[in-house]
Every structure is written in structure tokens, then in C-alpha cells.
Structure 1
Amino acid sequence: MLFTDRAILDGPARITREGHLLAVARAARANNVQDYLPHEIGQAPKPDGTPYRIFRPEAEVFARDAVQSAAHRPITVDHPAEDVSAANWKRLAVGDTGGEVLRDGEFLRLPIMVMDADGVQAATTTHQEFSLGYKADLDMTPGTFGDQSYDGVMRNIRINHLALCRHARGGAELRIVDERTSPNGEMKMSKIKIGDSEVDLSDGAAVAVAVGALQSRLSDAEGKVGTLTAENATFKTSIEAKDGEIAALKSQLADATDPAKVKARDEARAKVVDAAKKIAGDKLVVDGKTEAEIRRAAVEAKLGDAAKAMSDDAIAGAFAAYAPLGDAKPQVQPIGAPSSLGDAADVRNQARFSRYAS
């Protein structure tokens, strides 16, 4: 397929003493994705109606044969309807590119020289834009490069000529007509900015490509917004969870440093320790143990292996049962006072004892 692509002047052009035009151009940009209508690359329309996106990797643009093909290429006025060859060179060519083709960032940098007087006149008046004409193979294997998705890859690039144009197109396309005229032969200069491209409204294909590119970029942007929104929701949930954790830790810190609460905890532990030692003896080790561990140690001291399989709740119940026994002290009941059991016989006996004693 034959493609054309804009070449950008790198610095001012100049006219030599002999009347030739000298300039340096940057062309054949690498690592970019360009849009094509389906019929321009021999493909069926896409289901979503968007243009095909074709990628030009630097491995192809800067391949040795591709770079060498840019040297000593003929310069024409407008893109010819045929490849420039030895058979038509004298009729079509007005100059040529130089042999010193270099890489300049993402571009090829090449010197140009327009030697024909009519060509120089066109280049300095009506045809002030440059456009490469070249052939390439299309590998319709989709993929991505950075944040750019594409439907196919341009390979085996071979440059045929460099054209002086009235309106070089911003993107590579299959066969274009650079001179756009109205039916009466006058130039139609009505243009509009669509996205990054300035297109002539009279060129429906160019408008369609620019609109399709803008729609594709909008779709990509909407997808990124959706992703960022989802990520933001996840971050918000994570932040709220951390806020709750921080609040809980602050509350625990306040409890741990509040003098009244510290005193209450110390007193509660002291009661457990005191009760445990009354149950199991003073040799019971309590240092470094929690209150639950102290209760279990005291109950195990009483019940032995039978306590090892008991749950924490069972241990707490057993400890509560043993604790009063540990706290019990001998009680001396005054003579004449009824017993705590309220035994009527004891009351009568104590009454008789009192009578005899008197």
C-alpha cells in the first residue's frame, strides 16, 4: 500500500546563490498510532464504526533498509498518481533528498534540495508543506503501546518520494489528494479544528478520520475515568477502615493511660491474684500472666489434669466456686445468738443454757 505522511521543516529553509532551495526536514515519526478509514487500508468496517488504528514502531521506522530508503529520494510537486521511477523521474522530479539521513528522537532527519525553478517557486508560494510518499506492509495484529491501543502494525517501510504540497495531511493515509479545489477551480480554505487535527471541511474522509480519532480518544478517556473512579472508591473504603482503626487505638490508649481506669484494673487484678493464692497457695506464679491464665492455674492446682480440658467459661465458674472458700475465715458465734441456719432446737438449747447459767 502507498502511504503519505507530513514532513516537518527543521529550521528555516534558504535559497542558494544558484536559486536552489535547501532545507532540513523531520519525517517518518516512530512509536505513534494513526487512524485510517476501513477502505483506505482494504479492511471491512469495524462493528463500532471507529477508524482503524495503525502503529509504527521504532523497530520498523529505524530499520536499516527503511532509513536507507529515505536517502536520495526524488522530490515532486504534489503526490504523483504513480511511484517515481527511472521511467518518469525526468517528468516528475524537481529535486531530491540528501544522503545524510539521521535519527532525531522519534523522527528521521533528512536534508532536502529543490533544484528546479518551478519547484522552488511552488515551495515558496503555493506548496509550502512537505509530505513523504512511501509503501509499507500492514500486519493486522492488534496490541498496545503505552496507553495507546492499535489494530495493526506498519512494517517494511520503503520511502519512494517527498512531495511539495498545498495541504499535507497530518496523518498517514492511503493515497491522498493534497490539492483540494471547488468545482469552479478555486481553492476552498474552510478548515476546522477537530481534536489535534485541522481539517478541510470539504474533505469528508479527513473529517471522518479526525472525528473517529477524537471519539476513540474520548472512549479511552472515559475508560480511564471509570478505572480511576473505582480505584478512588477502593481507596476511600481503605481510608475509612484505617480511620476506624485509629479511633479504636486512640480509645485503647486513653483507657491505658487514664489514672482511674488504671487503678481499677490494678485493683481487679489484685483481687484475682489474692483469691488465686488463697486457692492454690502462695507459690502460685502470677507474673506475666493474664487474669484468665491466673484463674486457670489456680483451678488446675485444685483439680489437676481434670481442669486441662475445661473451657475458659468452665474455669471461671470453678474459680468463682473456690474463691469464697479461699476467702473463708473461722466465725465465732456469740452464746445465745441463733445460728445462721435458724435451727429452732439450737435456739431452745441456748435459751436453757442461759437460764441455768443465771
Structure 2
Amino acid sequence: MLFADQLVLDAPRRTAEGYLAVRAKAARTGVYQYTGREVDPDNTHGLRDQAIVNVLRDEGTVFDKRAARSFIGKPITTGHPAEPVNSKNWKQHADGVIMGALRDGEHLAFDLLLMDEAAIADTAAGTVELSNGYGARIEFGDFKAPDGTICQARQAEITDGNHVARVKFGRAGSTCRIGDAAVCDALPSNILDSLTKTEKPVKTIMIDGLTVDVSNADTAMATITTLIAARDAATGKVTGLEAKSVADAATIVAKDAEIAKLTADVAAAKPTLQQLRDAGKQFAVIEGKAKAMGVTVTDAMDEAAIMKAVVDKAMGATAKDYTADHVAIAFEALTKDAKVADAAVQPLGSPVVIGDSRQMRDAARQDYIASLTGQKKEAA
């Protein structure tokens, strides 16, 4: 299977002959993401219909000396050719040559020499990202990256470097860039070995993760067209998301400032009687809902504790990491239909008649008169 990774040109410089000499970080270790159709087009491993497949590239693959040397002496092209570059089409596609390869931290760096003036001008105009075209042997299974990411496949071996293409957009990101350094670290014998090495015939080539059947020109063109359309759509989406992210960040900052001011105002303010009444009513409502949900409320529990008790009872371990805001939202949702007993004045029933009011009045009057005349009888 053939892959294409990306890097970015930066800080190029001219030689005495007018050539453009640059050093580029050409590949990195880590996890690369592809669609299932890209890595398993025939569904041999059951991954074809997965949206994302993580492919691991470890140090043993990226910094393998034989793999790195396979790029030395290979051409630099403008865009990816629809066929592998070889001795029969080299003049048609080559704009320059890869002169050396070495490790630069966690990256594999190439020394590049652009020799075509039109390609040099195009580079100066902004076509500065690069995409490596190469063959790789893929292993499928369960693999874990150093950061803990689970991968369904890994590049076990980079078999053959074929070319480096200048493209508008790349996959690997801005960490793959060129820095000022000496050009051509490789010995002439290394270059000669790579140039004279017999290349294996290539039937397919992968460009930005899409497998291109180069034996069929129509299929190759259709695949490349699909790639360009997908890349343009993805670029537009990323631009939109970046703009939205900036807007959201500004909104969050404004809200934080508003919350801080409100917090200070509340701390400085003294509650009014109405506020105290409202708070009492709110507590009574929350307490009533909790009791309706079968939760026992104690005097030691405040509103937050009561709401959390209701949520914990209904949701169990699911709510163990809920914040106070999450608890409040869940409480409202869980108790929206709760039947709360009326906390207002309750009727006590019909009045009980204990005697005729007129008879009681007359009897009291007679007792008063008798007391004045000394005729009131002493109680037995």
C-alpha cells in the first residue's frame, strides 16, 4: 500500500546557480487518521465502513535507515503524478531532487534542492506544503500509541520512497517545516546507492490517504478529483469552525465578566424581606418536590443537598461526577411532573357548634345579677 504524508516549506535559500535549497521535516511519529475505506477498501479487515481508523507510525518505522535512504535521489514534483515516477517519466515530472535524509528530534528531515525556475516561483507564490509519496506495509490489529491512543493498524515498514510533491494543502500539519541548516548531509555514495537501486513496480499510489489505481487513467483522475473536492470542503469547514471558536471565546469572556460582576453585587447586597420570602418559597417548592419523589429531607440539608439527593436516587452512579449546574438541570427534568402538596393554609373542616349563643348570653346575665344580690349559689 502506498501512502502520502505532508510537510511545509519554510526559510528556503538560493544557491549560486539559482537553485532553491531547503530542509524540511518530512515525517513524524504518532497517530495518523484515515477513513476505513482508505486503509481497507476491500473490507478485508472489517474496517471499510468506519469513519475513522487510527494508524500508528512508531520510531522503528519512521527512522528506519533503509526506509529513509530510499527517498534519497528521488524527485520533487509539482502535485502528485497520476503514476509512480520512474526512469521513463522522470523528465516529465521532476522539478528537483531529495539530496539527504536525517533525524531531527521526533521528525525525519529531508534536504531538498528545487532546480526548476517555474517550480521555484510557484513555491515563492505560496505552494509550500509537501506530500511524500511512498510504499508502506500495513499491519492490522490492536495497537497502542505512547499517548494511550488505540489504533486499529500500524505502518510496519516503509518499503519505497517514490517522490515528494509540492501541494496546496497537506495532512501532517505545521510541525513539518523547513529550517536553516546545511544542505546535503548525505555522502555521494549514499546518493549513488539510492539512485542505482532497483525499484519494485507500483500498481497503486496513496495520495493524502486515498488509494489511486494508477494503472487506469480514468480511475486515477476520478480519485484525484474526489480528493481535491474533499480537501476544499474540509478546508472551508475548518475555516468556519475557527471563526466560530473565536466568537464563542469572546462570548465566554463577556459572560465570565458579567458573572463576576453579579457575584460581587450579590455579595455586597443585603437581602430584602421580599427576597427572604421568595427564598423561603423556593426552598419549600424544592423540598416538596423532593418529598414527592420519595426523598427524606432533613433540617441539615440546603437546596443543593436536596436536589443532589433526588438526582442521586433517580440516576445513581451516572450522576457521580455531575457539577452543581448539572444537578440543578437534572433535578428540574426529573421533578417537572412531581405532585407537590400545597404548603398554603389548609381547611380544618366545618365549624363545630358548642351551644346556642343567645342561651349562653342570658345564662351569663343571670349569673352576673345573682352575684350582685348575693343570690348566686356556690358550686357543689
- Normalised by the length of structure 2, the TM-score is 0.46
Higher relative contact order (CA closer than 8 Å, sequence separation 6+): 2
- Normalised by the length of structure 1, the TM-score is 0.48
* CA radius of gyration, larger in: 1
